[in-house]
Chain A
Amino acid sequence: MYTELHVLALLLYGGTAAVAAVPFFPSRRQGGTQWPTLVVGIVAATVHFAGLVSYAKAFGTLPLLGLAPALASLAFMIALLALAIAGVKRESTITLMTVPLVVGLIAIALTVGFGEVEAPSRAGPWFPLHAAASLLGIAALGVALVVSGLYIAQFRALKGRKFGAIFQLFPPLEDLDRINFVALVSGFPVLTIGIGLAIATMDRSPEALAERAPHLGWGIFAWVVLGAVAGARALGLVRARRAAWISIIGFVVLSILFLFVRAFAGTGARFL
């Protein structure tokens, strides 16, 4: 059931993107696409949530452990954050540009396949909070990636004096920069909580450390990357276009490292 619900959510996210893309086709009636986009997006997120709940019921564990459940939960958090921003800012291009990321993560999860995952040894009651907070921190970086992409596109349109669809429909530069700032600066403490809980509650036996080394290593690296970017933003060392590029680079580096660790972690090691 959880697989079907995730497939349905994937299709509904596609529908959300289709509604959000209507203003790019000027010959069609299109007044007020923000609310229809938001409504379809909320329906998609609700179905997505139902899929995650269905997984939790099926396996008696939260969908935070294992690659497919973790990616599905990450996609859900990114979608939720994007919908919240779209609702507050009353515009739909952020949703439109977030959909590929969300759909991509769900598609990978579906390809990998959901299945029962063994919990790490001595996973205590803090484990769900660690996983949820860590994923939320990464989701904030994902949102920063999306708005940074929009920023670069709008900046290029403005700098290059191209007054077409991007100029007309994408949000203003300062709004995008502000969202980037909030996403990074609020995402970092959340990730810090996640990483902190992991370190504080982890099994420190040599076997457990060896097993969890790739996971912990990537987590700390993510914390360092997000911390560096968020710190630079908070201190005013970077802003605007540079901040956008740094956010994009940070996300890409984390993704590449994730794939690398995933591919080359030893057989006895655990990674997500």
Chain B
Amino acid sequence: MTVTVIGVNHRTAPIEVRERLVWSASEIPGVLSQIAGSEAHPVALLSTCNRIEFYLGSSSAVAREAVWQAAADRLGESVKPFTYVHEGRDAVRHVFRVAAGLDSMILGEAQIQGQVRDAWEAARGYTGPILARLLQDALSVGGRVRAETTIGRGAASVPSASVDLAKKIFGQLKGRRALVLGSGEMAELAMACLVGAGVEATVVAHLHLEQAKSIAAKLGGEAVAFDDAWERFASVDIVLTSTAAPHAIVTPAKVREAIAARNRRPLCILDIAVPRDVDPEVGNLPNVLLYDIDDLQGVVDATLSSRQERVPAADQIVSEEAERFWEWYQGRRVVDVVRAFRDNAEHMRLHELQRAMKKLGHLSPRDREQVEYLTKALLQKFLHTPTIRLRGAAGNGTGNDIAEALRYAFDLSDPAEPDKETEESETE
């Protein structure tokens, strides 16, 4: 029995494969039930646009085959060429790295933490105690990595870079005013991010007033005619430009007067149009902080580079936590084997005692009690030393191999088979 990860991600499978493999939230219980099967193999599924991973709490060949089959049915072909498999310690480490965002397409992204939580929630009733603990630990490792390394700090996309830049100028964005020139998906995304960060009054200017009104309605702002936009440079704090103009439309001549009337308040201009909407000379006006799309990408690159530098510290935390989990896991496994070993011995004692008593019917009740006491005492003495030594071995990390040998020698059932009672008590 061991923890196993079978998965595909953005590095091993192209988008065409991943998009076909994704299980929606409503489909997950069905596939988990299918893989768990009648033997109730412990299983969980993390399904995101960049990663589909099955977590198995046993080394059962049946469960693995069920995973391959479910994935192949979904994809319409064998999924094996795109998959990776991690087992044991590697699997634990992998799950922890995933939750910490260290294996994500955008290093350190925080969304994965919520997705792991969703996977755990969706798999309740299927995980068994080992996987339940693994996923809970993964969430806390993710939190610890983010808190201790600040790997998630900074903007990792152009819209969030816009917010970061504005925040570095104005601090809190609550109550700030913004002007949007033009339209476009990126502009709307960036503006939505700014509004989400607290920017309140927005003014939208567009060559077509109807278009401006439509965007303003989405952002909860005011629409103005394009030619009325220039005087607004005096009153707003942030200008976001994204027109389809073939040349710069914001020039020093048009905005110099309005900017001079700002009384030295900084003005942040975010020009995300290509070709650029704002003449670079505007950036030389006093207290104007002008950024184009390359600058915003520069913020993103700086963030990602900074996050990359934090990976060794994050990996160190992951290794520490994976080792801690593994110690718990081994200890728990040994305890389960010891319990099975003792139950097995007790079962044999009772069976043999019953047989013997049938032949010793002439014994008085007191003698019968003595015989039963003798069998109990013998068994206790026989089991005492192995039990103590196995528990000791569990503490120093060698218990798992010995437990396996014991399980093999006495033909004990696999203690990893889920025990519903234990599972519920540990996952609540």
Contacts and interface: CB of A to CB of B under 8 A. Distances in A.
A89 B159 CA distance: 26
Contacts of A27: 309-310, 312-313
B302 A31 contact: no
A240 B147 contact: no
B287 A172 contact: no
Contacts of A175: 171
B264 A239 contact: yes
Contacts of A163: 295, 298-299, 302-303
A174 B289 CA distance: 13
A172 B167 contact: yes
Interface in A226-242: 236, 238-242
Interface stretch (A74-82, A140-148, A153-161, A194-202): A153-161
Contact of A161 (B264, B298, B310, B317): B298
Contact of B309 (A26, A154, A161, A178): A26
B268 to A, nearest CB: 9
B148 A174 contact: no
Contacts of A241: 264, 287
A167 interface: yes
A30 B149 contact: yes
A172 B176 CA distance: 14
Interface residues of A, number: 28
B170 A174 contact: yes
B266 A173 contact: yes
A29 interface: yes
Contact of B264 (A31, A32, A178, A240): A240
A32 B147 contact: yes
A50 to B, nearest CB: 33
Nearest to B263: A236
A172 B169 contact: yes
B265 A239 contact: yes
Nearest to A175: B171
Contacts of A158: 165, 168-169, 289
Given A158-B289, A167-B302, A172 B264 contact: no
B29 interface: no
A255 interface: no
A31 B149 contact: yes
Interface string B125-151: 000000000000000000000111110
Contacts of B342: none
Contacts of A238: 264
B298 A174 contact: no
A167 B303 CA distance: 11
Contacts of B165: 158
A236 B265 CA distance: 11
Contact of A168 (B283, B295, B306, B317): B306
A175 B172 CA distance: 9
- Main DSSP-derived SS at the B contact region: helix
B265 A240 contact: yes
Contacts of A122: none
A172 B171 contact: yes
Interface in B399-415: none
B329 interface: no
Contacts of B316: 29
Contacts of A30: 148-150, 313
A219 interface: no
A31 to B, nearest CB: 4
Q: Which among B167, B264, B289, B316 has the greatest number of chain A C-beta atoms within 10 A? A: B264
A23 B313 CA distance: 13
A164 interface: yes
Contacts of B149: 29-31
Contacts of B291: 161
Interface string A170-199: 011111001000000000000000000000
A91 to B, nearest CB: 11
B391 interface: no
B169 A173 contact: yes
A29 B302 contact: no
A159 B146 CA distance: 30
B141 to A, nearest CB: 14
B198 interface: no
Given A27-B312, A30-B150, A167-B302, A239 B263 contact: yes
B299 to A, nearest CB: 5
Contacts of A239: 263-265
Contacts of B309: 26-27
Interface string B246-269: 000000000000000001111000
A240 B312 CA distance: 39
A238 B302 CA distance: 33
A28 B148 CA distance: 9
Contacts of B368: none
Nearest to B306: A26
B329 to A, nearest CB: 25
Interface string B344-382: 000000000000000000000000000000000000000
A266 B371 CA distance: 112
B88 interface: no
Contact of B170 (A29, A159, A168, A173): A173
Contacts of B10: none
Interface string B286-306: 010101000100110011001
B154 A168 contact: yes
Contacts of B150: 23, 30-31
Interface of B: 146-150, 153-154, 165, 167-171, 263-266, 283, 287, 289, 291, 295, 298-299, 302-303, 306, 309-310, 312-313, 316-317
4 nearest A-B residue pairs (beta carbon): A26-B309, A172-B171, A163-B302, A31-B148
27 contacts: A26-B309, A27-B310, A27-B313, A30-B149, A30-B150, A30-B313, A31-B147, A31-B148, A154-B168, A158-B169, A161-B298, A163-B302, A163-B303, A164-B302, A167-B302, A168-B153, A168-B306, A171-B171, A173-B168, A173-B170, A173-B171, A174-B170, A178-B171, A240-B264, A240-B266, A241-B287, A242-B264
Given A29-B149, A159-B283, A172-B167, 17 more contacts: A27-B313, A28-B313, A29-B313, A29-B316, A29-B317, A30-B148, A30-B149, A30-B313, A32-B147, A161-B298, A173-B266, A174-B170, A174-B171, A239-B263, A239-B264, A241-B287, A242-B264
